[in-house]
Structure 1
Amino acid sequence: MSSRELSAEELRKLANYLSQQANDLEMTLEAVKKVAVSSQEIADEAEMLSKMGENANYLANSVQKIIAHEMEKIKK
């Protein structure tokens, strides 16, 4: 095999290797994107649950005030 043929073969191998590396990097990037989307969904869910907790707390306080007011009316 001539040195030119050897060089061409080495270049083909290198091109195949680099192509595989590019494919691997693309798959890694897709995985990272999915994790980022999942993380954002989790953050959004946590924010919604926090707001629901605030609403539940407000509702509980309102009910306690109503009950206290009604108890005062009963005592009178």
Structure 2
Amino acid sequence: MSAYESSAEELRKLVNHLSQQANDLEKTLETVKKFTASSQEIVDEAELLLKMGEKASYLVSSIQKIVACETEKIKK
């Protein structure tokens, strides 16, 4: 095998190796994209639950005020 053929073979091996690494990186990127989408869904759900919690807290506070007011009326 000539030096030219040997160099060409080494370049083919390198190209194959780099191609495999590119494929691996593409798979990793897809995984990261899926994780990011899932994370955003979790954040969205957490924000929704927080808003629901705030509304529930306001409702409880209002009910407590009504009960206190009605209790005072009954005492009189």
TM-score by length of 1: 0.91
1:3 CA drift (Å): 1.3
The equivalent of 2:69 in structure 1 is: 69
RMSD over aligned CA atoms reads: 1.0
Q: Describe how 1:21-36 pairs up with structure 2 within 5 A.
A: 21-36=21-36
The equivalent of 1:46 in structure 2 is: 46
Which structure 2 residue ranges, 5 or more long, are not aligned?
none
Partners of 1:34 and 1:66 lie apart in 2 by 48
Partners of 1:57 and 1:38 lie apart in 2 by 28
Q: Percent identity?
A: 72
Which structure 1 residue ranges, 5 or more long, are not aligned?
none
30-39 or 11-20: which moved more? 30-39
Deviations 1:34-64 (A, max 9, x none): 1211211111111111111101100100110
Deviations 1:8-43 (A, max 9, x none): 111111110010010011011111111211211111
Partners of 2:41 and 2:2 lie apart in 1 by 58
The equivalent of 1:2 in structure 2 is: 2
